[in-house]
Amino acid sequence: MLIVGAGPSGLVLACVLAEQGVPFRLVDAGEQGFVGSRGKGIQPRTLELLGTLGVVDRFLADGGPAPMMSSWRDGEMVAEWDMFTRVEPTPDAPYGQPLLLPQWRTQELLRERLGELGGRVEFGTRLTGLAQDADGVTAHLETADGASSTVRASWLVGTDGGRSTVRTLLGTPFTGETVDPTPMLVADVHLEGLPRTHWHTWPDHPAGMVGICPLHATDAFQLIAAFRDGEPDPSPDGVRALIAERTGLTAGAVDWASVFRARAAMAERFHDGRVFLAGDAAHVHSPAGAQGLNTSVQDAFNLGWKLGHVVRHGAPDALLGSYEAERLPVAAGVLGLSTRIHRGPGKEGLKLTTRRGRDAHQLDLHYRESPLSREARTGLADDAPRAGDRAPDAPCATESGEPVRLFDLFGSGHYTLLAVGRAAEDEVPADVAGPLVRIARLTDVDGHLARAYGPGLFLIRPDGYIGLAAEDAAEVRKYLAEVAGA
């Protein structure tokens, strides 16, 4: 397995494969990990997947909630509001709001986890060519010192960003639209005298809007600035001059700066033979709404468990075909959401006043139309979870009485078989237990499990979605035979 690109999607994919004992190489053309704050918002659904990877506590320790917004005019704070929908954690959804953490720290934490799992990133190694046949992919690599090599891999995954070399070499069309023609500058800066209690904005400056947000895990702030005329100057002196002109503040060190124009685009295909695209290589978003990094992480988890099951458990190759069937329509929907959030009620300019609702949390994304989703029950209530939906969490107890959350039982290498209700418990097919399926024998202490699921047998996929919901144990065996090859 060859993974090209060690951003969030490449790192998550590598971790999922490493957890399952799948050999891989992870290469990246850069000389080191990303150093900027760019994708700083981590949505509740992503936090759940980071829990499955065993690292969510590290993210919660270093990150924090988004602060209240504030608006400044003539040196004074004139308004305050909340841009984010926040809900209290519930038994079925343990995270009620986004977490803010600079992207460089997100990638550091993922690299740390990858190292614990025995993997590493080969920096300074770029892809220069590829050719595929029925049995695998031949990839040509070049290191920073000019040395070249040829690698043979069963599959290749391009997680190498919006300017993806893998996508270019495949010739896959990448179409979309300019969300906002206004050039934007984003930078990580150090400022004195600005309280870290708010995400500060200067929306009315004639040269363009400015937002300054404190960054967790550092004493820096993230600057984002629009330019109604002219081009941004990303040099440290240019960034400091912009801050002085538009806010009256004095900036010190500038750790990182970049210029971009918000664009929404998507690859025509996410899967071509033995080559896959994931993350920004497959879709790019406006940064508004913090959807891009999160969608990329979910791409990687979706693809990673499927590749692992094909390699480790002999699942049919058809399982890999479900990756594009599931993720392409999700990415298309999220692209639309990102664009709507960016534009707000108007058609021009990034809006930091547009409220980010529950739909941005990505908890309601589903795969009900997927070939992997089998709903075999009848007479369901309107609000009952269906096959293809995200599997709810619930606090329970083990057979020995020890407290445990349902999410603690999920893992990238196996399905989780859950029985809810006495009739279902009597029907649990114990003979399916093994490396591929773990049976959740739990006590529903306070009834949270029953309220979240209703009665039935639920086969929960490695990525935390309900694959099968049934009343008859024969459906479990049938599903595993047809979908998992077990």
In tens, the pLDDT along 127-142 reads: 999 999 999 999 999 9
Residue reference for tokens 């060519």: 129
Interatomic CA distance for residues 152 and 100, integer angstroms: 39
Per-residue pLDDT at 147? 95
Report the C-alpha gap between 485 and 319 in whole angstroms: 9
CB 297 within 8 A of CB 43: no
By the 8 A CB rule, do 266 and 282 touch?
yes
By the 8 A CB rule, do 45 and 363 touch?
Answer: yes
The pLDDT tens digits for 439-486 are 998 999 899 999 999 999 999 999 999 999 999 999 999 999 999 877
Strands 25-28 and 121-123, by their bridges, are parallel
Q: What is the per-residue pLDDT for 477? A: 92
Residues 266, 176: contact at Cβ < 8 Å? Answer: yes
DSSP-derived 3-state class of residue 36: coil
- What is the pLDDT at residue 86? 84
Amino acid (1-letter code) at residue 238: G
pLDDT of residue 432: 87
Q: What pLDDT score was predicted for residue 373?
A: 97
Closest residue by Cα to residue 227 from 72, 69, 349:
349
Q: What is the pLDDT of residue 193?
A: 86
Task: Tell me the torsion sign for CA atoms 220, 107, 286, 46.
Answer: negative
Q: Which domains does the chain have, with CATH numbers?
A: 2-63+101-177+263-361 (3.50.50.60), 66-91+182-260 (3.30.70.2450), 374-484 (3.40.30.120)
Residues of the chain with pLDDT under 50: none
